[in-house]
Amino acid sequence: MEKLSLVDTFSEFKEFKNIDTETLMRILEDVFRGLLAKKYGTDKNIDIIVNVDKGDLEIWRNRTIVEDGKVEDENIQIAYSDAIKIEPDFEVGEELSEEIKFEDFGRRDILAIRQNLVGKIQDYERANIYTKYKEKVGEIIICEVYQVWKKEIMVLDEDGIELVLPKTEQIPGDFFHKGDTVKAVVLKVEMRNGIPNIIISRVSPIFLERLFEQEVPEIYDGLITIKNAVRQPGERAKIAVESYDDRVDPVGACVGMKGSRIHGIVRELRNENIDVINYTPNAELYITRALSPAKVISVDVDNENKKANVFMKPDQVSLAIGKGGYNIKLASKLTGFDIDVYRDSDMDYEDDVDLQDFSDEIDQWIIDTLKGIGCDTAKDVLAIPREELEERTDLESETIDNVIKILKSEFED
């Protein structure tokens, strides 16, 4: 009965566990050798034959035949008189092989074998998962949502392995249900109490880079190199690319004909605005490009302290700063320079009016919102098209119309 139970256990692991036959045979042998070494003092003279497909296992103990009275270790030697009881043709010096039957194991031994087998299979699977995903860090995988919680969601890969997508690694606007397909990058893999914990991410800049590699063959083939990528997930991203072949336009290749290549990436990132920039080792030019879509007049660079003062027309300041200040923050991260934006000192601002002077007519929170996009004066606000102003501030149409009316009236007077 115990033999059948043990054989069933072998079949169960072979059928349901993600483990190859050769590895399972090795694990089975290790489990039995551990028990036999404990039972007989050594396992060096024991042969184990495992047939996983048939679900059977044979154990043979080999002992040397010695003269009667000269047995020093019963585990590796057998007396001649005992040997000829098994086979009368045996002679002293020959090796005798005896099969160890399952009936020779006690109930406690059988239970120990099963427990050890379960433990080693689990250890193997965990180690295998850890190794597999440790090599996949930085790669994109596609999973299916299995469970949704408040702070994270659990997803399953094609092999049913559990991975975790924390809320902090989800793009604002991500909303998943059980059964949904999720595309993400493997962020990190760590062991917790012997169990692999696999974290995936949709906000990592590496995710953006891998998406471009998938969509742009020139990047995958090495014709175009991604020099750097930075993101404010769900809002804006900047990616600097360089081509080693003068015949290949890196920006054009990444964007594609009529935006065909970049549109898929934008959709995957929940309509995140992506600026593709042609990399250059020229710091002034690199910073100028990084502040796109704003137009720069001049740049003063302090290479030693990694600082840059950028001068531009007043109507471009808000563009350079961007909604929520994301544009200038990302430009700083992309270039590695601490960027400060200034209005061109050659222009005349004597007839302009500071926004704070309108605090008696415009609510302070509205003034703060306008300052947040780089508008410090009335002309700064009026220089931005109404539709763009609404998009950058998220203010209601009526509020914007009222602000424009108040500011215009100041100059009409």
pLDDT in tens, 265-290: 999 999 999 999 999 999 999 999 99
pLDDT at 357: 84
**3-28 burial, b for 16+ CB within 10 Å, e for fewer?**
eeebeebbeebbeeeebeeeebbebb
Q: Can you say whether the dihedral through the CA atoms of 404, 405, 406, 410 is positive or negative?
A: positive
Q: What is the pLDDT along the chain (413 residues), one digit of tens a residue?
A: 344 445 555 555 555 556 666 777 778 778 888 888 887 888 888 888 877 666 567 888 898 989 888 888 888 888 988 888 888 888 888 888 888 877 677 778 778 777 887 888 888 889 889 999 999 999 999 999 999 999 999 999 998 999 999 999 999 989 999 999 999 999 999 998 889 999 999 999 999 999 999 999 999 999 999 999 999 999 999 999 999 888 899 999 999 998 999 999 999 999 999 999 999 999 999 999 999 888 898 899 999 999 999 998 877 888 898 888 899 999 999 999 999 998 875 444 456 788 888 888 899 999 888 887 777 788 888 888 888 888 888 888 899 999 999 988 887 75
Cα-based torsion angle of the residue sequence 393, 396, 397, 401 in order, rounded to the nearest 10 degrees: -80
Is omega for the bond preceding 166 within 30 degrees of 0, making it cis? no
C-alpha span between 300 and 337 (Å, rounded): 11
**Where are the chain's structural domains?**
2-131, 136-201, 355-412
Q: What is the CA radius of gyration of the chain?
A: 36
pLDDT at 190: 93
pLDDT at 269: 95
Q: Which CATH superfamily is domain 136-201 in?
A: Nucleic acid-binding proteins (2.40.50.140)
pLDDT at 161: 92
Longest Cα separation, the chain: 127
pLDDT at 2: 45
- What is the tens place of the pLDDT at every residue in 328-386? 999 999 999 999 998 875 444 456 788 888 888 899 999 888 887 777 788 888 888 88
C-alpha span between 124 and 117 (Å, rounded): 10
Q: Is the pTM of this model over 0.75?
A: no
C-alpha span between 279 and 242 (Å, rounded): 5
C-alpha span between 342 and 315 (Å, rounded): 11
C-alpha span between 217 and 219 (Å, rounded): 5
pLDDT at 345: 53
Fold of 2-131: N Utilization Substance Protein A; Chain:P; domain 4 (3.30.1480)
